[in-house]
Structure 1
């Protein structure tokens, strides 16, 4: 109980630092790690060893993935490939299904591209669509925002899910497959269909009649990469990782194909290949008067990834100290005595922490440190446990989260409209995805790659 009380006190300090004083998550996570160690009476030498090894282990696990993934995503955004992909979906699905097009665009783009960058890049398209169709802006936001956030929080190789999978030693390929399986239905229900319903309701209340999307708006820009090219580049690393997971499951280790994809499908190698190929293919769109070469561009973008590395790494430090303190075992034992299922605990705890601190990544790292290993030790699949945590961070997008303010800043939504377009659909999506995950849990022992 003393350990739990200490943990809750440290968490309150963490929340106050993040929410009230707006201190950088990387700073507060490191301070919280040191404080937790001191208050649980660890030796100073042990604390220093844990924070160092925790940071190092996290960087060993996903450091290169974050760097290569960040550069890869920036290439797609800066070249204009993401915008062309969005317009391509609109042309493919037709003007009547603009909500579906936006939802799928967000769902796919946010797999390799950081959520904030993707939304900022695509937000002008929402404004342009609204001016022409007169549809409700918050409905467009719901369609795009939900697709973006679900894959950002659930589908690797985004940093948060990667960190969770790494902490639980889950197979990344299968983590991606099952992540998509639970996230896609939730995205379609709570992004596409919810967006349509929200538009109809708001237009009825405001007595607005929607118009039509201009052909000119969604026409392909010959000065930017094609939608097909952008989609192929996004799918490249995912395909390599997934093929590796399947091949290594069905082929003998001495098989040449097994060895080839064991290498090519390695997480680091797959994203590195995607980054290099994308850079070479998109070079003419990235190199200009201020950026004289592709390699200079990579250097510039790599510098911007430092903050993400800081948060992920110090999250690893905090997780390391939490695990050594015994708080995870104490919390799991306490809640087990209360007959609260561990998976529900993981889901709700991640959602609550995300709402409090405003960061899905911080919530994932904190929750996996508290209940992750305990849940796996109780016989649950590391993929099920990891996804329960990731899914929890989708819900309760509140004003504490910078993501909440993106629609207000870039699409002129009021707080009430932002709640309609982000908080409500994403919270519903979180519960929908969790229900799907619980269905998978019932068949976990029969499903490939779960253990």
Structure 2
């Protein structure tokens, strides 16, 4: 099938515009938006209906094969940590270590650590009561505290698996999760710092916003110890990190090394994290365990269908040979990692969801990797991190997380745009600069 570049690009732009229109304006679920875009793209370039359906099924199945268990286990881990109060224990422990005078920094670091297993919106809701309480007792403006917590959570959400967007991009592009987690943490820390510094700078230029008098009532009064609270987060990261180094060294001969390699598989490591998280419960009952596991599975289901549809969209794009067309027509080699960053940034700003933006961008970038000079292990890793940086900016009124922060902090939209939205721009730029520097080091 010989398709002109012009026709492919017209269909691609139409597909992306349809995704943005359906998700941002008409509030259609991203799964259906991506599925409709698959048919628009495939039929638009002249593929037979049977060929479009085959590409959709293959793309959907392949991405879920690599990501299904990771997303379900990661989501379940977050649900259990929320229910047991482990997130608040982690927050209080960090606060005691840093001190109330640095409450904003403490909340930023708390957001970073709590955000490793928990989605940013859930993490913010869980910690918003503590955040308001600290703002009242310390006299620090609520906009500084809210933005510090929000950006700490956001840095991890955009750059580190098992969060769905970056995890899906890793599955589509083909990146080792262990290496991505370790390198992603190194990129996310400067991003968190950028968000925190901007929150302090911009927040001090605005009138002090005092938190309301409402007090969060803790449902679970018997909280776990700090050791138990941190263990489900730290252990999986250590196991996955050990495996990443063992793979680099290529020494799987020793039986002990084989065991560590097996434990470091993201699925096994996250399963261990889930078991450790159950240890935070004061009492075990089949009703409680069953309810938590069901909630985790149900919450993951909505994410998995979006990721699957993203994989299907990528498979349809690959069938159009868009990579061959663009590599012949554009100087992609000179753009390198800037191209995946730019396209993700545009998609994020246009339609609001970081997850949809990075999944869609990964599908577009995949066939272009050879032309971009990124068709190797290092290039794949840098590409995913660059897309993660792009998916940070710009968070504004079309982003659900934007409204979670505004609602639970009681901040006006104008204040949110001046402080939080600009903070996401700072985070995205700083993250991309770090990724660019890594391209000379790795």
Instruction: Give TM-score scaled by structure 2 length.
Output: 0.91
Partner in structure 2 of residue 359 of structure 1: 353
Deviation larger for 150-159 or 414-423: 414-423
Structure 1 residues 441 and 229: CA distance shift in structure 2, 3 A: same
Partner in structure 2 of residue 424 of structure 1: 422
Structure 1 residues 282 and 326: CA distance shift in structure 2, 3 A: same
Partner in structure 2 of residue 311 of structure 1: 306
Mapped partners of 1:352, 1:421: distance in 2: 20
Structure 1 residues 328 and 422: CA distance shift in structure 2, 3 A: farther
Q: C-alpha displacement at 1:301, in angstroms?
A: 2.8
Mapped partners of 2:168, 2:421: distance in 1: 24
Q: How does 1:95-134 map to 2 (within 5 A)?
A: 95-134=100-139
CA contact (8 A) 1:52 1:317 kept: yes
CA contact (8 A) 2:199 2:420 kept: no
Q: C-alpha displacement at 1:6, in angstroms?
A: 1.2
Mapped partners of 1:369, 1:227: distance in 2: 41
Instruction: Give TM-score scaled by structure 1 length.
Output: 0.90
Partner in structure 2 of residue 394 of structure 1: 392
Q: How does 1:144-223 map to 2 (within 5 A)?
A: 144-191=149-196, 193-202=197-206, 205=207, 223=222
Structure 1 residues 6 and 80: CA distance shift in structure 2, 3 A: same
Q: C-alpha displacement at 1:236, in angstroms?
A: 1.4
Q: C-alpha displacement at 1:197, in angstroms?
A: 2.3
Partner in structure 2 of residue 230 of structure 1: 229
Mapped partners of 1:201, 1:86: distance in 2: 27
Mapped partners of 1:431, 1:376: distance in 2: 25
Q: How does 1:38-117 map to 2 (within 5 A)?
A: 38-117=43-122
Mapped partners of 1:11, 1:251: distance in 2: 42
**Alignment pair present for 1:322 and 2:317:** yes
Structure 1 unmatched runs, 5+: none
Deviation larger for 302-311 or 389-398: 302-311
Q: How does 1:403-418 map to 2 (within 5 A)?
A: 403-418=401-416
Secondary structure in 2 matching 1:342:
coil
Secondary structure in 2 matching 1:150:
helix
Mapped partners of 1:250, 1:38: distance in 2: 47
Structure 2 unmatched runs, 5+: 1-5
Partner in structure 2 of residue 11 of structure 1: 16
Structure 1 residues 15 and 296: CA distance shift in structure 2, 3 A: closer
Partner in structure 2 of residue 382 of structure 1: 380
**Equivalent pairs, count:** 428
- The CA RMSD measured in Å over matched residues stands at 2.3
Mapped partners of 2:370, 2:327: distance in 1: 11
Q: C-alpha displacement at 1:332, in angstroms?
A: 4.7
**Alignment pair present for 1:292 and 2:297:** no
Deviation larger for 165-174 or 322-331: 322-331
Structure 1 residues 382 and 49: CA distance shift in structure 2, 3 A: same
For residues 56-108 of structure 1, give each alpha carbon's deviation from its aligned partner in whole angstroms, at most 9, with x where no partner exists: 11110101111111110100111111112111111110112111111111111
CA contact (8 A) 2:77 2:273 kept: yes
CA contact (8 A) 1:363 1:393 kept: yes
Q: C-alpha displacement at 1:326, in angstroms?
A: 2.2
Mapped partners of 1:300, 1:190: distance in 2: 32
Structure 1 residues 397 and 331: CA distance shift in structure 2, 3 A: farther
CA contact (8 A) 1:123 1:410 kept: yes
Structure 1 residues 101 and 285: CA distance shift in structure 2, 3 A: farther
